[in-house]
Amino acid sequence: MPKSVTVQINTQDLETLKGNNYQLCFAKKVNNTFDVVWQSYNDYLASNTFSWTPLSQLFGTNSFEGGVLVTADTNLQTIELGEQATLDNSGVLGQPATGGPSSGITLINNYGLIHPGLNSVSTGPDGIQRVTPIYVAQSAIETGQDLLTPIEVVQVWFEQDVTTSTMISQAVTNATTVDLTQTDAETVLYSGGSWSVVSLGAVSDPRVYLEILIKGGAVVTAAALAKQIGTYLTGVYQSFSVQVTPSGSQAFKISYKEQKGISARERGYVQRLWDSVGTADYLAAAVLQSLAALNVSFTEFDASVPA
């Protein structure tokens, strides 16, 4: 089953990252480590989907060195989980056959010191499918057997001066880890220099972005006021909902929330819109315009962002 992760980037962060020549990078966990840049991209946008199919190629290489590109020094063999292949004493990888644990790929090494490695298929934000390395054992193995266990967990980060297939010898900074062992797709958001997961499915208690308290003025029903404000929530603001609640005599509390049941992509858009300058002003202005349209005056108008 194909897996995918969508990376959404706040507009201001996008400009900063692009302006400083950062690459969007992905790595996959194998044997509980991330040690090869699976893919890196400089042509990323505000929303980027990276997907892959669990298809692997086994190979051997003579060395592991951080910051250096992976080179397959043996021939390649396409192989699946639960299969094994033998590297003979001449350094030739034979055809795979069933054998070894079903959760991994087994290399039977009759050659001598070698670093086992894996390639895998992925499709980047540019829509191009590639086969590139995802793992190289950092320590060479002696003759015998070695188990390579790919795990459906990816690491995502931004880095300067790095390319696809680069070996990683130390932990990268400011990365996020996305676990797809129990699901086929996930969305993460990069905003304000930090990562967050945009969970799939409906939100039972959508976030309140702005609360407004108005006091005084003519009598108007909460439903009429909510309907009038709602006429301004179109276009990019359509994922916001408005709730108007009577609050004492001639007073209303107005809450702007995200719509229930919006998609992960839409939720990311709401967050990025809220992070942009002017959104709070627009929502407050929608209330003022609605009051004017309903001929409602007021003696107090207080707009605040919930903590």
Q: What pLDDT is stored for residue 201 in this prediction?
A: 38
CA 143 to the chain's CA centroid: 40
| Pair 188, 212 in one domain | no
Domain termination residue (choose one: 198, 221, 244): 198
Q: Would residue 249 count as lying in a domain? A: yes
| Pair 292, 161 in one domain | no
- Other CB atoms within 10 Å distance of the CB of residue 218: 11
Q: What pLDDT is stored for residue 37 in this prediction?
A: 98
Q: Would residue 203 count as lying in a domain? A: no
Residue 162: domain span: 3-198
Name the domain count of the chain: 2
Domain termination residue (choose one: 198, 232, 252): 198
CATH at residue 282: 3.30.70.2860
pTM, two decimal places: 0.67
Q: What pLDDT is stored for residue 86 in this prediction?
A: 98
| Pair 212, 194 in one domain | no
| Pair 277, 297 in one domain | yes
Four-point Cα dihedral 298, 300, 306, 307, nearest 10: 180
- Buried (b) or exposed (e) across 114-148, using 16+ Cβ within 10 A? bbbbbbbbbbbbeeeebebbbbbbeebbeeeebeb
Question: Do you know the residue count of the chain?
Answer: 307
| Pair 267, 165 in one domain | no
| Mean pLDDT, 10 residues at a time, the chain of 307 residues | 87 93 98 97 92 92 95 96 97 96 96 97 91 97 97 97 94 93 87 77 62 79 86 86 82 86 76 85 93 87 85
| Pair 117, 215 in one domain | no
DSSP secondary structure letter of residue 36: B
| Pair 126, 192 in one domain | yes
| Pair 182, 284 in one domain | no
Residue 152 has which token pair?
A: 């459906």
| Pair 188, 284 in one domain | no
- Give just the sign of the alpha carbon dihedral 167, 172, 175, 178: positive
Q: What pLDDT is stored for residue 257 in this prediction?
A: 87
3-state secondary structure of 288: helix
Q: Would residue 258 count as lying in a domain? A: yes
Q: Would residue 146 count as lying in a domain? A: yes
Domain termination residue (choose one: 147, 175, 198): 198
Q: Would residue 241 count as lying in a domain? A: yes
Q: Would residue 81 count as lying in a domain? A: yes
| Pair 130, 222 in one domain | no
| Pair 269, 148 in one domain | no
| Pair 23, 138 in one domain | yes
- Buried (b) or exposed (e) across 64-102, using 16+ Cβ within 10 A? beeeeebebebeebebebebbbbbeeeeebeebeeebee
Q: What pLDDT is stored for residue 151 in this prediction?
A: 96
The values of phi and psi at residue 138, to 5°, are: -70, -25
Residue 255 has which token pair?
A: 């809450």
Q: Would residue 140 count as lying in a domain? A: yes
